[in-house]
A and B are shown apart, each in its own frame.
Chain A
Amino acid sequence: MDYLFSVIGTVLTVPSLLAILVGTVFGLIFGILPGLGSVLAISIALPFTFTMDIMSSISLMLAIYCSSVYGGSLSAILINTPGTPQSATTMFDGYPMTLQGKADLAIGWATGASLFGGLFSVSVLIFAAPQLAKFALKFGPEETFALICLALTCIAGVSGGSILKGLLSGVIGLFLAVIGTDSMSGSSRFDYGVFELAAGVELIPVLVGVFALTEVFWRLGEKVSKTPMNELKGGFRLAPFKEWALRWRTLIKSSIIGSLVGILPGTGAATASFIAYSEAKRSGRFRENMGKGEPEGIVASEASNNAVTGGALVPTLALGIPGDPVTAVMMSALIIQGIQPGVRLFTDHGPLMHSVFFALIICNIFMFFSGVFAARYVVKILKIPEILLLNMVLILSLLGAFSVSGRLFDLVIVLIAGLGGFILRVTNVPLAPVVIGLVLGPIFEESLRQGLIINDGNIIAFFSFNHPIALVLLSTTLAIILKLTFKELCDSLKIKRGHNS
């Protein structure tokens, strides 16, 4: 009992609660505004965690994550434009409800489903993460290397676009991680005589540049027409319990889908919401009405996308393998505080991890109440001119990147990363693998070199039956690469046949 009180007491402090409140509001605004989103919000906030204590830092990140995923539903419902990709499917039934004059009810459904999905995924996290970490204690360098190969391949393959571009993006990220001093030999690598690069390329300036600056430049160049918002009214109204009870199967199923999808690397809340919506359309009680303003559609979408939040933390905390850019940034927040996610996290920092679980519960509750109180003001937020927001995002981004080490050189890194990210985006190269490659690069190299030392330089040992887990993981990696390459080849041939006929 004392332990439980101690865990709860770590979270229920003024700094942590304040961090959750600020994170909830910040994340909600970024989630509501189309085009900004969870990754940008978290990237901007990350540098500010540098001066916070660990619990406040993690609480801030978690609050931003939960509320930004939820926030996208509000603009999806009110203006038929999802604030975040995760809420794309919420539009299908949310906006028709707005046209029927039931926007407040739709927001109530979205908020309640998000709360349920979020809390469900916390329970998955509480049970799954420690078990996975225990299993991962059997991992040696060979298994770690194989796991990262699989994770990068999944992320590269699922990020959108071709597997070739995804893998290239991942390799670029891995390469950025080797710049600087080699930890094993002490030699300087690829710094080209630039003194500041001796310490390597800092993660946060790259993150901020690749996500924040690239997004700003992209939005400056986009030709988008604005949706008129003069007649819009927000509000919050919760449906009666009886209505919720009629949709309980979809609520539970969507939460399970979201949690499982979150655990897989490379997939995210957007994938989860599409899968859950499709499943609800196939087997939901009110499936005939879906797409015409049926709350079951909103329930499926929102329960699943918020259920990803807890699920995605399972591999991040237990294995040190972030499944998407958002969890990669959160992992960076832990690393900044001197906590290395991975197999020993629950052994070395057990009480802290339990506090993190409790903090996630509080974040979901704050998210719910933020929806209740903020719903009527959403329209005002949506009316803020975009250029004002972009201006503020740029100032926050540069300031945040600078504040990490106080080096002006980091601003140069931000600018280069922003330009590079923009070029990659124009050529449809996914950006997420760059960042995840940068995060995982040091562990990847270390595990490969350690594995080769242990096996006297014999790479075949990684594929041997002495390391069955590594063998399975590497075989799966190869299978995924072959499958995706084959699929791309078939698509190319179909295009060719289509042009010929």
Chain B
Amino acid sequence: MLKEGDRDSLFAVFSIVVSLMLLYEAKKPYYEAGVADSGFSPVFFPLILIYVWLGLSILLLTRGLIRRKKQQPTKIQISFIKPLKGFLIVCIYAYLIPILGFYLASVIFSLIFMTVFGYRSKLPLLIISFIFPLLLWYIFTFLLNLSLPVSPWHVRI
């Protein structure tokens, strides 16, 4: 359980760190060599954005620290375990697409995703896992003329 001010402060700290990293990158000599159009370097506009980003993050941090004094801790109304599981499964899916091709990767992804999140009805599971990617493959390949990544065994067939 965290106070909302603490959540804002944590996010603001993270935001400050990111903006400082970007500021460090923007100050590299490499960018000064690219001065063009009346003396404006390529990082002229990004620097403005970075300073605004930093300023807003500092304001957010200040506000969070001030507000937290009068706030009660509240529970975040969302679980992080399931989204994390979902994210990892999607990462594996994205990793498998170039290796196994779109169709096989999608079948494996669908079976794992729906099973992990508790769906057990066999017929819809099989239809969504096998037929839906097949339908998409058909639409992309024959109707939209877009090639999708194929499996290593595709050519041999």
| Residue A398 is within 8 A (CB to CB) of chain B in the complex | yes
Complex interface: stretch among A78-86, A124-132, A166-174, A317-325? A166-174
Complexed CA–CA distance, A392 and B87 (Å) = 15
Q: Indicate the size class of the contact surface on chain B.
A: 35 or more
CB contacts between A and B, total, < 8 Å: 175
Complexed CA–CA distance, A453 and B38 (Å) = 7
Complexed CA–CA distance, A30 and B11 (Å) = 32
Contact status A187-B49, CB under 8 Å: no
Which of A383-397 touch B at CB < 8 Å? 385, 387-388, 390-392, 394-396
Complex interface: stretch among A220-228, A233-241, A286-294, A366-374? A220-228
| Residue B44 is within 8 A (CB to CB) of chain A in the complex | yes
> From B133, which residue of chain A is reached at the shortest CB distance?
A395
Q: For residue A165, which residues in chain B have a CB less than 8 angstroms away from its CB?
A: 60
Complexed CA–CA distance, A496 and B63 (Å) = 13
Q: For residue A492, which residues in chain B have a CB less than 8 angstroms away from its CB?
A: 63, 66-67
| Residue A196 is within 8 A (CB to CB) of chain B in the complex | no
Contact status A48-B144, CB under 8 Å: yes
Complexed CA–CA distance, A402 and B102 (Å) = 11
Given A164-B60, A395-B133, A445:B45 Cβ within 8 A = yes
Contact of A167 among B36, B56, B102 (CB under 8 A): B56
| Residue A1 is within 8 A (CB to CB) of chain B in the complex | no
How close is A360's CB to chain B, nearest CB, in angstroms?
Answer: 24
> From B39, which residue of chain A is reached at the shortest CB distance?
A457
How close is B20's CB to chain A, nearest CB, in angstroms?
Answer: 14
Q: Would you give the 0/1 interface string for B82-101, flagging 1 where the beta carbon is closer than 8 Å to chain A?
A: 11011100110110011000
Interface of B is mostly: helix
Contact of A452 among B40, B63, B66, B140 (CB under 8 A): B40
Given A190-B25, A411-B94, A220:B114 Cβ within 8 A = no
| Residue B65 is within 8 A (CB to CB) of chain A in the complex | no
Given A394-B113, A419-B87, A452-B40, A408:B52 Cβ within 8 A = no
| Residue A467 is within 8 A (CB to CB) of chain B in the complex | no
Contact status B78-A168, CB under 8 Å: no
Contact of B114 among A184, A190, A391 (CB under 8 A): A391
Contact status A213-B90, CB under 8 Å: yes
Contact status A388-B119, CB under 8 Å: yes
Complexed CA–CA distance, A273 and B129 (Å) = 39
Contact status B53-A168, CB under 8 Å: yes
How close is A215's CB to chain B, nearest CB, in angstroms?
Answer: 11
Contact status B90-A415, CB under 8 Å: yes
Q: For residue B40, which residues in chain A have a CB less than 8 angstroms away from its CB?
A: 449, 452-453, 457
Which of A421-475 touch B at CB < 8 Å? 422-423, 426-429, 445, 448-449, 452-453, 456-457
How close is B114's CB to chain A, nearest CB, in angstroms?
Answer: 6
Which of B29-50 touch A at CB < 8 Å? 31, 34-46, 49-50
Complexed CA–CA distance, A390 and B102 (Å) = 18
Q: For residue B86, which residues in chain A have a CB less than 8 angstroms away from its CB?
A: 216-217, 220
Contact status A398-B93, CB under 8 Å: yes
Contact status B56-A174, CB under 8 Å: no
Complexed CA–CA distance, A414 and B95 (Å) = 13
How close is A230's CB to chain B, nearest CB, in angstroms?
Answer: 17
| Residue A399 is within 8 A (CB to CB) of chain B in the complex | yes
| Residue A272 is within 8 A (CB to CB) of chain B in the complex | no
Contact status A171-B52, CB under 8 Å: yes
> From B127, which residue of chain A is reached at the shortest CB distance?
A388
Contact status A218-B37, CB under 8 Å: no
Q: For residue B136, which residues in chain A have a CB less than 8 angstroms away from its CB?
A: 395-396, 399
How close is A293's CB to chain B, nearest CB, in angstroms?
Answer: 31
Q: For residue B114, which residues in chain A have a CB less than 8 angstroms away from its CB?
A: 387-388, 391
Can you list 24 A-B pairs, Cβ within 8 angstroms, ordered by A? A51-B145, A165-B60, A175-B46, A182-B42, A185-B36, A186-B34, A189-B42, A218-B78, A220-B85, A220-B117, A391-B128, A395-B106, A395-B110, A395-B133, A398-B97, A403-B144, A412-B94, A415-B91, A426-B7, A427-B11, A449-B44, A452-B38, A496-B70, A499-B70
Q: Nearest 7 pairs between A and B by C-beta?
A: A187-B34, A217-B83, A185-B36, A187-B42, A182-B42, A221-B78, A220-B82
Q: Which residues of B contact A (CB under 8 A)?
A: 4, 7-8, 10-11, 15, 22, 25-26, 31, 34-46, 49-50, 52-53, 56-57, 59-60, 63, 66-67, 70, 76-83, 85-87, 90-91, 93-94, 97-98, 102, 106, 109-110, 113-114, 117-119, 121, 124, 128, 132-133, 136, 140, 144-149
